[in-house]
Amino acid sequence: MRQSPNPYSIDSTLRIVHTLLLAEEGGFLLHAASGMRNGSAFLFSGLSGAGKTTLSRLAPADVTLLTDEISYVRQEESGYRAYGTPFAGELAKVGENVSAPVGGLYFLAQGLENRIEAVEPAEAARRLLRNILFFAKDPELVNGLFDSACRFVQCVPAYRLTFYPDERVWDLIR
């Protein structure tokens, strides 16, 4: 792979390499902001404009930001763990180099009130697959990633988080 020597090239290369490394061990990179609170990591997933950076900016002091753009999820024996990443979005701030077990996955939508609704596993898997970063076309890797997404939604509770952009939304995340 030949890339021009600028920070964005390195960032892109790292993303591609890590999607492949994680795929082999049941993990993935996800278009999601993530934060750690009370020993658990929470993922806030959505494509551009969904509110990942907005939610990250609103995070109170007791939340450790792992990323406002790309979340790093690894499978471990007892479940899944999210790690801080250097992949920053509009916040332009790298995540803390810490990790925690994933306590919940939230699909973001902006609205006039703050509301959480449970999402059924099949719907969660479909949405999750839409937001996972993956660049390979190899059928074996795609199938492996599909399995990982299906396993993930069976282990981690998934919700739709509709939020009005002020700090009260974080009262719902515990």
List contacts with other proteins (CB under 8 A).
120-123, 125-126, 129-130, 134, 137, 139-140, 142-143, 146-147, 150, 153-154
Output 146 or 164, the one with its CB closest to other proteins.
Answer: 146
Output 48 or 143, the one with its CB closest to other proteins.
Answer: 143
C-alpha distances in Å from residue 17, one per residue of 20, 49, 118 = 5, 26, 33
| Nearest approach, Cβ of residue 46 and other proteins (Å) | 17
| Nearest approach, Cβ of residue 6 and other proteins (Å) | 29
Output 11 or 120, the one with its CB closest to other proteins.
Answer: 120
| Nearest approach, Cβ of residue 3 and other proteins (Å) | 24
Using an 8 Å Cβ cutoff, are 60 and 42 in contact? no
Output 31 or 51, the one with its CB closest to other proteins.
Answer: 31
Give per-residue burial for 113-147: e unless 16+ CB within 10 Å, then b.
ebeeeebebeebbebbbebbbbeeeeeebeeebee
- Amino acid occupying residue 140: E
C-alpha distances in Å from residue 79, one per residue of 68, 135, 155 = 23, 25, 7
The three-state secondary structure class of 63 is coil
| Nearest approach, Cβ of residue 30 and other proteins (Å) | 15
Beta strands in the chain (DSSP E): 28-37, 40-45, 64-67, 70-76, 79-83, 99-110, 115-118, 132-133, 158-163
Output 2 or 137, the one with its CB closest to other proteins.
Answer: 137
| Nearest approach, Cβ of residue 57 and other proteins (Å) | 31
